[in-house]
């Protein structure tokens, strides 16, 4: 079994409660940096328990929402939070099961460090965007010492963890994989924990 699935399948029902500070903080910071229109078509890649989508649904009730996650148990929790109109699918970031130009906005929150084929995933995210569409990625930032130490620990303890990026590494990946010109903001959640959010636009 894939390590991401094995790690999260058994924890799906308790995930939001166990990691409430983590979920609340990163979801809040992502939404604060997310610019969208009320009727946008939005895809959350690695949507997990659907917390980000549920908050977007409350704020933008006319938005058309979709989510992808490889763990069916996490998606089951997401379905409990969202209406039947939300298009939730099991799958991986490197093979998105939607047609070209399906979304105005693609977002990924706290998931990118699991992706084992990041160049392919970035190209897939770009592919499903309409011309002029936006990509927003929030994840840990390896420019912070605490994140580097956490990364070193997770490489030993968690087979699901793949890689965290510095701002420069993230920018280079987005440029080289999909010709994006990203705007990346680095910030602290707490004295210990640092994040970054990258925002890109698909050239029309």
Domain ranges for the chain, please list them. 3-201
Residue 7 has pLDDT above 90, yes or no: no
Note the pLDDT of residue 191: 75
Topology given in CATH for the domain delimited by 3-201: Rossmann fold (3.40.50)
Q: What is the mean pLDDT of residues 17-45?
A: 94
Q: What is the mean pLDDT of residues 68-83?
A: 96
Residues of the chain above pLDDT 90, percent:
75
Structure pTM?
A: 0.94
Residue 160 has pLDDT above 80, yes or no: no
Note the pLDDT of residue 156: 59
Note the pLDDT of residue 158: 63
Q: Positive or negative CA dihedral for 167, 108, 98, 69?
A: positive
SS3 annotation, the chain:
CCHHHHHHHCCHHHHHHHCHHHHHHHHHHHHHCCCCCCCCEEEEECCCCCHHHHHHHHHCCCCEEEEEECCHHHHHHHHHHCCCCCEEEECCCCCCCCCCCCEEEEEEECCHHHCCCHHHHHHHHHHCEEEEEEEEEEEEECCCHHHHHHHHHHHHHCCCCCCCECHHHHHHHHHHHHCCCCEEEEEECCCCCEEEEEEEECCC
Note the pLDDT of residue 163: 87
By the 8 A CB rule, do 71 and 135 touch? no
Q: Look over the chain and give the mean of its residue pLDDT values, rounded to a whole number.
A: 92
- Separation CA 160–CA 8 (nearest Å): 9
Residue 192 pLDDT grade (very low, low, confident, very high; cuts 50, 70, 90): confident
């Amino acid at each position: 079994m894939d390590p991401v699935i094995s790690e999260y399948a058994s924890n799906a029902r308790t995930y939001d409660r166990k990691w409430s500070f983590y979920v609340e903080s990163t979801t809040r910071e992502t939404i604060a940096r997310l610019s969208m229109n009320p009727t946008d078509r939005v895809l959350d890649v690695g949507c997990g328990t659907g917390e980000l989508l549920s908050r977007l649904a409350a704020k933008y009730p006319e938005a058309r929402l979709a989510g992808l996650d490889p763990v069916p148990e996490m998606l089951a929790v997401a379905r409990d939070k969202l209406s039947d109109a939300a298009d939730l699918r099991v799958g991986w970031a490197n093979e998105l099961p939607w047609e070209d130009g399906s979304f105005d906005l693609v977002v990924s929150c706290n998931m990118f460090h699991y992706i084992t084929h990041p160049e392919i995933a970035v190209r897939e995210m770009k592919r499903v965007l309409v011309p002029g569409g936006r990509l927003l990625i929030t994840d840990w930032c390896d420019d912070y010492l605490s994140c580097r130490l956490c990364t070193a620990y997770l490489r030993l303890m968690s087979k699901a963890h793949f890689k965290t990026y510095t701002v420069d590494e993230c920018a280079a990946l987005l440029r080289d994989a999909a010709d994006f010109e990203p705007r990346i903001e680095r910030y602290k959640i707490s004295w210990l924990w640092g994040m970054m959010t990258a925002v890109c636009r698909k050239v029309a």
